[in-house]
Structure 1
Amino acid sequence: MFSYHVITSFNELETSLYNYITQNIEKVVYMRIRELADETHVSTATILRFCRKVDCEGFSEFKVKLKMHLDEKKQSTIKSPLRSMEEFFERTLKGNLEEKIREAARAVTYADHVIFTGIGSSGILAEYGARHFSSLGKFSMYIKDPHYPIHSSFMVNSVTIALSVSGENHYTVTHLNKLKQEGSKIISITNTKSSTIAKISDINIPYYVTEEFIEESNITTQVPVIYILELMAREIFKLNHN
């Protein structure tokens, strides 16, 4: 409701009013303009000017929009982790997940170098994946910085494993494009096979769960990613010992 550009346009009094409103939304939606003016020690003219800055013709319209914003926040729900896993198994295990994992495992097994990459929560799992692969005998490294210097000779017969829920992260796409041009084979684990990262990959393993957001945060479960990584690591271990 309050965009960055709107907030930066507030003067000192309007900023004080904004701070009070955001901290007392449930109270403000039932207040009269005079009551809000008394509580915040500003004039009703300041309140009306504030309302116009957030695209409301008056205080009544502002309260309606504020109430709608409050209702939207209250309606935010989080799925049960069990339901997310059921969804994953229902959609994915009916397909060719295990075949894709075996194909990826073979590529990793015969690679001289293995690099993991990802940003945010995907980066945390990429670091876990590199450690887990290394624990099972396939040394791997996690590189977070897309500008991290890698000598071209290191990329010969290498595999890069990219993790991304949306498959559209700009930094990861840029990093993969650079690594691909250097000759690294790209394996990606994404939520869908239609994303940019999936399309530029040599092997893509999609896991298909409904994405979830709370306000601006992506809280989509990452359990399927851990399942895929651990299954792949065990497949690599078996290939190395056969």
Structure 2
Amino acid sequence: MFNIEEIQSLNELELSLYDYVSKSKDKVIYMRIRDLANEAHVSTTTILRFCRKMHCVGFSEFKVKLKIYLQDQRPKKISDDKTIFLEFMDRVSTPIFQVSINKACQMIYNASNVIFVGIGSSGILASYGARHFSALDKFSVYIDDPFYPIVGRDLENSVSVIFSVSGETTEPIRQANMLKNKKSQIISITNSKNCTLAKIADLSISYYIQTARTISSDVTTQLPVLFIIETIAKKVHNMALTPSSNY
């Protein structure tokens, strides 16, 4: 409801009003402006100035926005429909998907260094990916810190596998750009090809799963990503055992 820039623009009186509204949202949506002024110990002029800083024409519009915000914050049920994953498994067997998997295998097989990148839940997947590949004899590392310095000259023959559900999160896109500038080949694993990260990648693999969110978090299932990681890791391992195999 309130972003950092809006809060930083408030003076001392407006901050006291912000504090009251934050703690009494359920009451404020039913108050008249004079009632709020009395309860928060500020003038109606301060309230109107506060509303303008929240990009509202007046107190009535502010209450409408606050009510919509509260409705959006109510917990929603998360689907546990197993057909979502089963549909993904059907797509896995399509020739188009297999071509992408095989291209990723060849890129990683030929690379001297493999780097897995992600933040948040995707950072956990990056850690798992690096460990799983290393366990299957393709030593890999991971980056789960969006501010990790990407320097050095040892990335020319490397592949960076970058995870992001939306493919629009600023930090992974910035890291992909930095790695690309270091001549690392980029493989993106996202929920859709129609995103910035997929577009700047050398190879994009998308799983197209219905997204799911709670009030504050993306809880889209990551089973498809685990499947993709393990499938590629096993294929790369087998390629090393039988170099003449045609993938």
Query: TM-score band, normalised by the shorter chain?
Result: 0.7 to 0.9
Over 3 Å counting, the alpha-carbon distance change for 1:40 and 1:228 in structure 2 is same
Over 3 Å counting, the alpha-carbon distance change for 1:129 and 1:9 in structure 2 is same
Over 3 Å counting, the alpha-carbon distance change for 1:28 and 1:87 in structure 2 is farther
Over 3 Å counting, the alpha-carbon distance change for 1:184 and 1:33 in structure 2 is closer
Look up the SS of the partner of 1:189 in the other structure.
strand
Alignment of 1:146-165 (within 5 A): 147-151=149-153, 154-165=154-165
Question: Aligned-pair distance for 1:131?
Answer: 0.9
8 Å CA contact retained: 2:130, 2:140: yes
Q: Match for residue 71 of structure 1?
A: 71
Question: Aligned-pair distance for 1:24?
Answer: 1.6
| Deviation digits for residues 154-211 of structure 1 (CA, Å, limit 9, x no counterpart) | 3354322222223344444444344445443332212222333323333321111244
| Deviation digits for residues 6-60 of structure 1 (CA, Å, limit 9, x no counterpart) | 3222222221111111222112212333433333233344334433433445433
| Deviation digits for residues 66-96 of structure 1 (CA, Å, limit 9, x no counterpart) | 2222223337554437465345345555563
Q: Match for residue 123 of structure 2?
A: 123
Of all paired residues, the percent bearing the same amino acid is: 47
Looking at structure 1, the residues matched to 104 and 232 of structure 2 have their Cα atoms a distance apart, in angstroms, of: 7
Over 3 Å counting, the alpha-carbon distance change for 1:108 and 1:19 in structure 2 is same
- The answer for unaligned runs of 5 or more in structure 1 is none
TM-score (norm: length of structure 2): 0.78
8 Å CA contact retained: 1:159, 1:187: yes
Q: Match for residue 96 of structure 2?
A: 96
Q: Match for residue 184 of structure 2?
A: 184
Over 3 Å counting, the alpha-carbon distance change for 1:85 and 1:42 in structure 2 is same
Aligned residues: 240
Higher mean Cα deviation, 9-18 or 48-57? 48-57
Over 3 Å counting, the alpha-carbon distance change for 1:175 and 1:37 in structure 2 is closer
8 Å CA contact retained: 2:72, 2:215: no
Higher mean Cα deviation, 182-191 or 75-84? 75-84
Over 3 Å counting, the alpha-carbon distance change for 1:201 and 1:14 in structure 2 is closer
8 Å CA contact retained: 1:146, 1:172: no
Residue type of the alignment partner of 1:120:
G
Question: Aligned-pair distance for 1:140?
Answer: 0.7
Looking at structure 2, the residues matched to 39 and 130 of structure 1 have their Cα atoms a distance apart, in angstroms, of: 56
Looking at structure 2, the residues matched to 147 and 81 of structure 1 have their Cα atoms a distance apart, in angstroms, of: 41
Say whether residues 1:6 and 2:6 are aligned partners. yes
TM-score (norm: length of structure 1): 0.80
Over 3 Å counting, the alpha-carbon distance change for 1:195 and 1:32 in structure 2 is closer
Residue type of the alignment partner of 1:5:
E
Q: Match for residue 26 of structure 2?
A: 26
8 Å CA contact retained: 2:136, 2:233: yes
Over 3 Å counting, the alpha-carbon distance change for 1:29 and 1:132 in structure 2 is same
Residue type of the alignment partner of 1:201:
A
8 Å CA contact retained: 1:91, 1:208: no
Say whether residues 1:236 and 2:236 are aligned partners. yes
